[in-house]
Amino acid sequence: MYVGALTLDILLGDVRSLKQKRSVVRPLIAELQRHYPSIAVAETGHLDLHRRAEVGVAVVSSSAGNCNEIMDACERMVAFRPEIELLSARHRLYNDED
């Protein structure tokens, strides 16, 4: 069993309040979950900042290759959204021996 963890650090566009931030981050999380129903996605950091967000993605699979493939696809999906800028993405892969 393999568990993949992806952390995405995001800079939001013209956002001036936490309410506007939610209106950008929530659809992003919903889109990721709609395309990949087997993953878990949540906003995990920068909760009190208006223009920054951290989104965490977790994947469980029987193969490391599948975990990496899904994490790469999620990263690409976020990176190609025009209203946000992906500052960094950190991939971690754990297996049952860790």
pLDDT of residue 18: 92
The pLDDT of residue 13 is above 90: no
C-alpha–C-alpha distance, residues 93 and 52, integer Å: 25
**CB-side neighbour CA atoms (13 Å) of 3:** 9
The pLDDT of residue 78 is above 90: yes
pLDDT of residue 96: 81
| Average model confidence (pLDDT) across the chain | 94
Amino acid at 33: Q
The pLDDT of residue 98 is above 80: no
In this prediction, residues 58-72 reach a mean pLDDT of 95
The pLDDT of residue 51 is above 70: yes
pTM of the model: 0.90
